[in-house]
Structure 1
Amino acid sequence: MFRQFRIAAVVSATSAQIVTSYPAIAQSAPIPPTNRAEAAPGNGSSGHVPQAVSDIVDKPEQVTVRLDRARSALQPSLGAQVYRFGSGALHNIPQGENTPLNQVLLQAPGVAQDSFGQIHVRGDHNEVQFRIDGVQLPEGLAVFGQSLQTRFANNLSLTTGALPAQYGFLTAAVINIDVKTGINAPGGEVSLYGGARDYLQPSFAYGASAGRWDLFVTGDTLHNRIGIENPTSSFNAVHDLSNQYHGLTKLTFTADADTRVSLIAGISDAEYQIPNNPEQVPDLGISDNGITNYKSRDLTEHQKEITDFGILSLQKQIGSLTLQSSVFTRYSSLYYSPDPIGDLLFDGIGQTAARSVMSTGWQTDTSWRINDSHTLRFGEQAFIERNIASTNSVVSPQIGSAFDGSPIYSNMPVSIQSGSGKTGLVYGLYLQDEWSILPRLTINYGVRFDGVSEYVSASQFSPRVNVVWRPTSSTTLHAGYSRYFTPPPFEEVTNDTISRFQNTSAASELTQNGKVQPERDHYFDGGIDQILFPGVHIGLDAYYKQATNLIDEGQFGAPIILSAFNYAKGEVHGYEASLSYDKGPLSLYGNVAWSRAIGKDITSSQFDFSADDLAYIRNRWVHLDHDQRWTGSAGAAYALFHATTHPLRTSADMVVGSGLRADGSTPNGRALPGYYTVNLALVQSFKSLVLRGTVLRLDLLNLLDRRYIIRDGSGIGVGAPQYGLRRTILAGITQRF
C-alpha cells in the first residue's frame, strides 16, 4: 500500500489498545446512580449476614451474585455517564458475540469510528482504558488488532464524563468487561461462523461450576480478507488477508462466603497483510540498484501482533469493609515486515520494526461503609513497564541536489540499525467519600494523586467532585468536575535516531524533538436522566474539557504504529442525547451527539511535521484530526414467536457520522463526507426436539452497500486512506450442550 510520509518516527511508538461494546437496546441509555442502600451490598445496612461455608456448595449462585455486586460497588459511577450492554444486547446486535469489540461500542453516544479499529470517545483520541472484572489493564501495542473479544463478556459497560477518583491514567472512557463464569454461562457450545471474503470463524466456550470451584474457557480463530480497512472504495481490497487467534480462561475459587480468588488469562495472536493501493507511482526519485519503478498493487507488507495477559485477584469482605486486590501482567509485541524494494521507492525507507512492552502491576480498591451517610473508598494502582524497540532501516543516501533543490540519491541503499530499551513506572492513589446529605441528594468528593517516571517525570494532585440529585423517583440530575492527569504513551524517538537519518531518503524536514508531556485537564459535565414512563428512558448530557499539553497520536511511518505528540492547548466540548424503549419482545434505542475538538501549537515530536504546518498551528486553533461534529447510532430488536420453543429474533442497527477531518486550505481544515451504515440480523433458536440447543444466524453488514470514506490519507498524523466495509453477508450455526 502506497503511503507518503516520513519514517524516522516509527523507531518507537505506542498506541492505546482499542476495544468495543454495544448498547443493550434498552440498556444503552445512562443508568441512574444506585441509591445508598443498593450501592454496597454485603456492607453495613445493606443487609449482609454472615453465611455458612456450606452455602458455597448449596447456594453458589447466590454467593456469586452477592460477591459480584460487592465488587461492582467498589467502583460505582457516582454521577458519571454509564452505558451498559447486557448479555441480551450482545446477542441482539448483528454478528452477536462475533462482533469486534470496537463495533459494539459505536452504538454508545459520542463514540466515533476511525481506521485500524480505533474509536474516539467525546472527542478524545485513544485515552480509553480497559478493565476486566474491575482491574485496569496497562496499554498495549495493538492498533488494528482487537485483543479483547466480545465473547468474553457476560456484560459490558462504558463509563465517561466527570469520573470519580478511582479512575486514573486514561480517562476519556472506562470500558469494563465482566467476564463470564461457569454459573452465568454453564455448559458448552461450539460455533461456526463465516461467509463473504473468505470469512471463517470457528469458536467454542465451556462453563462449569462445582462446589467452591468455577471455570469458564473460550477461544476462537478468525480467517478473512478484511483484516484492515480497504485503501480504495472497491468491493475487495488487494492483499488484505488476516489470521487471528484469541482465547481466555477464568478460574475462580470461593474459599468462604466472603472470600474468593480468581485467575484470568488471555491470549491474542494476529497476523495481517497490509492492503495495497493500486495504480500508485513512486515519485521520490529513488533507485534501488537500478530499479526505479514498482507496481503498488504488488507490495507485500505484513504486521504481526501478540498480546498475552494474566490477572490474579483476591476479593474479601470483612464486616463493613470490602476490598479487591489484584496483581497483573501484560505482554504486547508488534513486528512489521516491509516490502524491501517497494517501501524504499514509495516511502524513502524500507524498515523492519520490532517492538514489545512488558507491563506488571498491582491494583487495590477498598470500600468502607462508615455509616448510613458516608462510604469511604480508597485504593492504589501501579504499572512497571519495560519497553524494547529495534529497527533495521534500508534508506538511500543523498549525494547531491538538483538545480531546483530536489535531492539526488545514490542508487546503492544502505542499512541503519537502531535499538532502545527503557523501564518506567506509572502510579496512582485515591481517596473519596460518598456522602448522602439528604435521602435524594448525594455528593461524591475526593482526590487522586498520579505520577509517571518514564521518559519524563511528573505528578499531579487531582480533585474530583460529583453531585447527584433525584428530585423524583424517575428523574436524576448530575453535575461534576474532575481534574485529570494522563501520562504520555511509553515511547520516545531520540535526537540521535533522528540525526542518523539526515542526508538520506528518510530525513525529516525538521530535527526539533520535544518530549511528549503528560496531559492535564479540567473536565466539567452535567446532565439529566428521565424515565418518561415505564419502558421509555431519555438522557441529556453536556461536557467541556480544557486541556494543557493535549495528547494526540498519528501514524507517521509504514508500520501501523501510532506516535504521540502534544498540543500546548486543547478544548473539547459537546452534547449528547439518548432515547430507549424496552417492553415485551420489542426494544428500540437511538443516540445523537455533537462534539468539537480543537488544539493549538504542537510542542513535542515536531520532527514528524512540516515547518509550514507547525508555523500555522503555532498561533491558530485547528480541528483535531479525529474531530467529528455529528455522531449517531440507533437500533431495534423484535422477537417473533417469543412464546414458543422456536423464537426468531430480528434486529438492526445503524451508525451515522458526519466525517472525520482532512487537510483543506489549512491543516485539518475540512470534514470528510458524512455517511451511514445499516446492519441486519436474523437469529433462529430451537429449544426442543432434535434441534434443541441449535441456533442459526444470518447477518447482513452494510445492507445498502454504502461506499464511505473514513480517512483520505491527509490530515495531521494521518498515514493512508481507508474506506468502510462494503456489503458483507455472514452466517453461522451454534450448538449448545
Structure 2
Amino acid sequence: MTFRTVLLCSAVCFAFPLQAHAEAPAPQQSSTDTSTQTSTRTSTASTASDETGNAIVVTARRLDLARDSINPSLGTSQTLVTRAAIDVQPGGANNALSSVLLQAPGVSQDSTNNGEVHIRNEHGNVQYRLNGVTVPQAFSGFGADVDPRIANSVEILTGALPAQYGLRTSGVVNMTTRTGTFGLGGDVGIYGGSNNEINPSASFTDSFGATNVFLSGSYLENDLGIENPTPDRAAIHDHTEQWRGFGYASTLLGSEDRISAFGGAAIGRFQIPNQPGVTPEYNYLGQTDFDSTKLDQNQRQDTWFGVVAFQHSGDRLNFQIAPFYRYAKAQFTADPNGGTLMFNGTDSNLTETSYASGVQADASYALGDSHTLRFGLFFQNEVSRSDSVNRVFPVDNSGAPQSSDVPIVIPVAERVLGRTYSAYLQDEWKLSDTLTANYGVRFDESDAQVNQYQFSPRFNLVWTPGEGTTLHFGYARYFTPPPLTLIGKGTLAAFDGTTGAPEVQADGPIRAESDDVFDIGIQQKVGDHLTLGVDTYYKIARNLLDDTTLGGTQILAPFNYAKGHTWGVEYKASYNNGPLNAYFNMARGQQKATDIVSNQYLIGADDYAYIANHYIYTDHSQKLTMSGGASLNLDDGIGKLKPAVDFIYGSGLRKDDPVGGIPNGGEQSPYIQVNLGLAQDFGYDKDHAWSLRFDVINLFDSVYEIHDGSGVGAGQPEYGPRRSFFVGLHKAF
C-alpha cells in the first residue's frame, strides 16, 4: 500500500476516532490578545434569551473556540483585524479584502483593485482559510473570492508557521465568517461615488432551532476595474461588473458535534484598460495604423466553491473533517478588429478552467496538562484545462518583423492533472508556566508536471518571561507546489517561424518551491493601552516561484528561479484607550533570486542571459513599507460618530535599471496614500441603526506609479487611484 493510499484511507476514517465525552478544554491562547475576538462572539450570541436558546448559544460558542484550538497560531507573527476595525476604516466593509490585509506589517500593495498584495515581498503564495478550512485558490489577478462583508474577524499569520499550515506559506489569512445571531436579522446598504461606482449589498441571518443561517451578497460596478495604466483621473476602457455571494449554515448534533456548510461565488467582468499614443508594430490585412485607445480586450473570471465540515469536540479530542470543491474559469478575449495583433504580433482568445476537490482533516488530542498532540491530513485533486486560439504573423530570414500581413491561426488545447497529498503531526509541549515548545513534522507530495515530495520539520518556542512580554523563535521548512495555470511543455514548436515564437526556446517543467525559514520576534505591552512588537526573518529558497502575465493576456503564468533569498524586519505598534484606536507598521526587507529554470520562454533573451549568472531583485521586492491609522468612537448625542484615517507608504516596487540595463535594477518612486473616513451611526441599538458614511480615498491626490511595465515578472503599467469620493448608507435590522 502506497503512502498516498494510506492518506486517502485515513481521511475517510478520520471521522470515526476514539470516543470522547464531556466538555472541551479551554483553547490555547496565542501571543496575540484574542479577547476582542472572543467578546465579539459573545455579544453576537447573547441575543437569545430563552433557556433553550441560551443552551444553543453556549454550545455553539464552545464549538467555535474548540475549532480555533485545533489550529492555533503559536509562535507566529499575528495581526487580528476585528469586525469593528473593518467597519471603521475608510471604505469600511465596502473595501476589497486587500485593503484589510494592508493593515498588517510587511504587506505591500500591487494591483489592489484586483486583490493582489505582497506579504514579506513574496509573489502570491498566500493561503486563505474560512473557519479554519483551506479554500483552494483560483487564478490570481482579478479579485478575491470573498469580501470583508462576510468576516467576523480576519487574522493574518506570518513567520515560521506550525506544521498544520502548509503549501501556501508566505502568509495565512484566516477569516472567521459571520455565522448569524440565532435570530432574524441582517442589513442592507448602498455605496458609491467616484469612477461611476455603485455597490449595493445585503445580508440575512436567521435560526431554526439548532440550525443557524447567514447569507450575504453584493454587486459592484465602476469604471476602474483594473489599475489605470495612465496617471489620468479617468481610465480608458476600464469598466467592471462584479457579483459576489456567500452562504453559511450550521446545525448542532448534540452538545459535542456540529455540521456546517458554506460556499460562495465570485463573478467578474473586466475591460482591459488602454494607453493612448501607442504605435502598432505590425500590419494587419492592409491596415497599418490603429488607435490604441480603441482596443477592445476583455476578461471574465468566475469562481464557485463549497465546503461541508463535521466537527466534534470532546474532553480530550477535537477534530474537524471538511470535504471541499472549487470550480474556476478565466476567459480572455483579444481585440476582435486585430488591434491586439497589430501591437503585439500575436493575440489569443484564451480560456482556462480548473476543477479542484479534496478533503482537509485536522485534530487535537490533549495528552495531559503538558502535551497537546495535533495531527491532520489534506488531499486535493485538480484538473486544469487551457484552450486557446492564437493568431500570429509568419516571419522569414529577411529581418522584417513579418513576411505577410495575413495571420496564421494556431489552436492549442492542453490538460494538466495535479494531485497534492499532505499529512502532519506535532506536539505542543508546555515546558513551564512561561515556556512552550511546539515541534512537529509535515509531509507534502505534489504530483503534476513533476512528482516531488518533502518531509518538513517545524519548531517554535514561545517564552513569556514577565507580564506583557512574549518572545518567539521558529524554524520551518516549506514545500509550495506550483499552480496549474500554465501552458504545458511541448507547445512552443507550433510557433516556430512566426511572431509568436519566444526569444528563449526553453520550457523547463515548473517545480515545487522548497524553503528554509527562520523567524524571531518579541512583543511587549507597555501599560494598559500600548503594545509594541518587532519581528525578523530570513528565508533560503530553492526553485523560488514567481509569476508573469501570459503573452498579451491578463492571466498569470508561473516560473522558477533556481535560488533565492528573502530577509526583513518588521515593527508594529498599537494603541487602544477608550474611544481611540491607533496602529503603525513599518517593514524593511528585500528578495533576490537567480537563474530561471522553468518556463524560460516567458522571459526575454537579454534578461534571461543576465539572470543566469547574477542575482536580481524580484519585481515585487520593496525596501520599505509602512501603514498606519487611527479612529475614534464618539457619543455625539444622536448616536456614534466614527472618524478614521489610514495611510500606506511604499518606497517603490522594482523596474528595469534605466542606465545599466539590469533587470529589475531600478525602483519606482516612493509614494504615500492617505485615506479619510467619517461614519455616523444614528441611534444606539447597533442591530437596528442607520449608518451614513463619507470616505475620501487618496486625500492629497498623490500621483504615483505602482508598475511602469518594465522588469522581469511585471505586467502593464499601473498607477494608484487618484483622489476619489464615496458615500454610503447602511441599515441594520
Q: TM-score, normalised by structure 2?
A: 0.91
1:342 is matched with 339
TM alignment of 1:371-520, pairs within 5 A: 371-398=368-395, 400-402=396-398, 405-520=399-514
- C-alpha distance in structure 2 between counterparts of 1:188 and 1:104, whole Å: 22
Distance of aligned partners of 1:640 and 1:564 in 2 relative to their CA distance in 1, 3 Å threshold: same
2:654 is matched with 661
Distance of aligned partners of 1:577 and 1:31 in 2 relative to their CA distance in 1, 3 Å threshold: farther
- C-alpha distance in structure 1 between counterparts of 2:686 and 2:441, whole Å: 60
How well do the aligned residues superpose, as a CA RMSD in angstroms?
Answer: 2.1
SS at match of 1:572: strand
2:351 is matched with 354
2:193 is matched with 195
TM alignment of 1:496-575, pairs within 5 A: 496-575=490-569
Letter in 2 for 1:572: T
- C-alpha distance in structure 2 between counterparts of 1:217 and 1:690, whole Å: 19
- C-alpha distance in structure 1 between counterparts of 2:284 and 2:172, whole Å: 48
Tell me the CA shift for residue 688 of structure 1.
6.3
- C-alpha distance in structure 1 between counterparts of 2:545 and 2:686, whole Å: 57
Tell me the CA shift for residue 554 of structure 1.
1.0
- C-alpha distance in structure 2 between counterparts of 1:560 and 1:430, whole Å: 36
8 Å Cα contact 2:414-2:487 kept in structure 1: no
- C-alpha distance in structure 1 between counterparts of 2:697 and 2:310, whole Å: 42
8 Å Cα contact 2:182-2:206 kept in structure 1: no
Tell me the CA shift for residue 407 of structure 1.
3.3
1:585 has 2:591 as partner: no
CA deviations on 1:369-398 (whole Å, 9 max, x unpaired) are 110000000001111001111000111111
- C-alpha distance in structure 1 between counterparts of 2:688 and 2:250, whole Å: 30
TM alignment of 1:168-207, pairs within 5 A: 168-183=166-181, 187-207=185-205
Distance of aligned partners of 1:615 and 1:688 in 2 relative to their CA distance in 1, 3 Å threshold: closer
1:12 is matched with none
1:687 is matched with 683
SS at match of 2:722: coil
Distance of aligned partners of 1:478 and 1:417 in 2 relative to their CA distance in 1, 3 Å threshold: same
CA deviations on 1:693-723 (whole Å, 9 max, x unpaired) are 2110001000111001000010002121000
Pick from 238, 260, 277 the counterpart of residue 262 of structure 1: 260
Q: TM-score, normalised by structure 1?
A: 0.91
- C-alpha distance in structure 2 between counterparts of 1:726 and 1:474, whole Å: 42
Pick from 219, 226, 235 the counterpart of residue 221 of structure 1: 219
- C-alpha distance in structure 2 between counterparts of 1:266 and 1:339, whole Å: 31
Tell me the CA shift for residue 503 of structure 1.
0.9
SS at match of 2:431: strand
- C-alpha distance in structure 1 between counterparts of 2:687 and 2:588, whole Å: 47
1:49 is matched with none
- C-alpha distance in structure 2 between counterparts of 1:565 and 1:228, whole Å: 24
Pick from 643, 646, 661 the counterpart of residue 650 of structure 1: 643
CA deviations on 1:395-451 (whole Å, 9 max, x unpaired) are 1111x344xx34333111121101011222011100000000111100000000000
CA deviations on 1:254-283 (whole Å, 9 max, x unpaired) are 111111110102011110000000111012
CA deviations on 1:55-106 (whole Å, 9 max, x unpaired) are 7644222222211111111111110111101111011111111110011111
Structure 2 residues not aligned, in runs of 5+: 1-28, 39-49
- C-alpha distance in structure 2 between counterparts of 1:678 and 1:220, whole Å: 26
SS at match of 1:613: helix
2:725 is matched with 729
- C-alpha distance in structure 2 between counterparts of 1:31 and 1:482, whole Å: 18
- C-alpha distance in structure 1 between counterparts of 2:203 and 2:713, whole Å: 40
8 Å Cα contact 2:139-2:485 kept in structure 1: no
The 10-residue stretch of structure 1 (55-64 or 520-529) with the greater mean CA deviation from structure 2: 55-64
1:143 is matched with 141
- C-alpha distance in structure 2 between counterparts of 1:34 and 1:200, whole Å: 37
CA deviations on 1:340-372 (whole Å, 9 max, x unpaired) are 310000011121000011100100000001100
TM alignment of 1:307-318, pairs within 5 A: 307-318=303-314
8 Å Cα contact 2:655-2:668 kept in structure 1: yes
Higher relative contact order (CA 8 A, sep 6+): 1
Tell me the CA shift for residue 141 of structure 1.
1.2
TM alignment of 1:12-411, pairs within 5 A: 32=31, 57-115=53-111, 116-183=114-181, 187-283=185-281, 286-340=282-336, 341-398=338-395, 400-402=396-398, 405-411=399-405
Letter in 2 for 1:233: P
CA deviations on 1:445-487 (whole Å, 9 max, x unpaired) are 0000000011110000000000000001210000000000111
1:637 is matched with 631
- C-alpha distance in structure 2 between counterparts of 1:530 and 1:569, whole Å: 36
Distance of aligned partners of 1:473 and 1:362 in 2 relative to their CA distance in 1, 3 Å threshold: same
1:710 has 2:706 as partner: yes
Letter in 2 for 1:32: S
Distance of aligned partners of 1:55 and 1:372 in 2 relative to their CA distance in 1, 3 Å threshold: farther
SS at match of 1:649: strand
